[in-house]
Amino acid sequence: MGKFDGIAILTDLDGTFLGKGGRMVERNREAIERFKAEGGLFTLATGRMHFGLEKWVPGLYTLVNAPAFLCNGTYLYDFGESRVLSEIVMDGDLAYEAIAFVRRNFPSASLRVSFRGGYLMDEKDVKAVSQIVDYGIDEKIIEPFAIWSREGWYKVVCTDDATLIPRIREAIETQFPNRFEFNCSSAHLLEMQMKGVNKASMLAPFRAYYRERGKALTVYSCGDFENDFEILRAADVAVCPSNAMQRIKDICKLCFCSNDEGVIADLVEYLEKARA
């Protein structure tokens, strides 16, 4: 049994684990390998899905050694077994109605759906289609909005000018009160799940997964932006990089260097000193 047995580190990707421009910070990778060698668990808590994720995180499948919290906590995914362990899907009819509402009232908005099979986009939504195509993701359906299947939806993503995003959010909340959970992972991007669903939603099944295997966990969660708020509050220890928004810093016990300098490496070094 290593000195980090029973300790799990969950990290957001953009603005936390990845450096500027989405680069891999080598110092983080080296620290994670030391952490895992002593029994630690390392995984992701991100708004991204598993499709194409290794394009952003080279060597992902060997780096992560625990189930990942994906698509803003709508599902828990085991990379080792390539399967979903737990999920929370949207009311597809309601979400479809909300998308139709945005399309009518905010024609400049670009919309896509993250669902069990990948990404769903309207063939006329040039921005949404080009973004996913540029990512090089094969798991996508591009077809007319009128014939979209409404099964197995995880979240809706809306992209528009930063000045319009707050107005879109307010309009949806007014039209569909208390039906959706909203968060922003950037000023231009609004994400929407079912009410009460966020990254912390998969923490209970994550703990249960290890409890069934005889392991109680101490969870360190790392994040920098609005969509990390709930999981930081729900974790045993909340951690953020120095570039985190102030609202996030206010709830974190530990604040280390910036994402570009290797905040996860700082956390591992902190744990190494504490357990020396």
pLDDT tens-digit map of 208-252: 999 999 999 999 999 999 899 999 999 999 999 999 999 999 999
159 and 216 share one domain: no
- Assess if residue 260 is contained within a domain: yes
Residue 132: pLDDT band with limits 50, 70, 90: confident
Average pLDDT over residues 186-209: 95
Here the CATH number for the domain that contains residue 127 is 3.30.1240.10
Residue type for position 59:
G
Please tell me the total count of domains within the chain: 2
- Assess if residue 2 is contained within a domain: no
Alpha-carbon Rg of the chain, whole angstroms? 19
Among candidate residues 139, 167, 194, the one where a domain is terminated: 194
Of the candidates 229, 149, 221, the residue with the CA atom closest to the CA atom of residue 182: 229
Rounded Cα distance, 235 and 215, in Å? 16
pLDDT score, position 52:
87
Here the CATH number for the domain that contains residue 53 is 3.40.50.1000
Q: Which domain holds residue 215?
A: 7-87+198-274
Among candidate residues 163, 194, 225, the one where a domain is terminated: 194
143 and 269 share one domain: no
Rounded Cα distance, 75 and 85, in Å? 7
Rounded Cα distance, 256 and 254, in Å? 7
Q: Is the dihedral of CA 251, 12, 257, 185 positive or negative?
A: negative
- Map tokens 């990290």 to a residue: 11
83 and 97 share one domain: no
Residue pLDDT, tens place only, 5-22: 999 999 999 999 999 999
Lateral strand order in the sheet of 75-78: 68-70, 75-78, 83-87
Contact 115, 74 (CB under 8 A): no
Among candidate residues 194, 211, 239, the one where a domain is terminated: 194
187 and 103 share one domain: yes
214 and 177 share one domain: no
Q: 5-9, 89-93, 226-230, 270-274: which has the minimum mean pLDDT? A: 226-230
Predicted TM-score of the model (pTM): 0.94
CA 141 to chain centre: 21
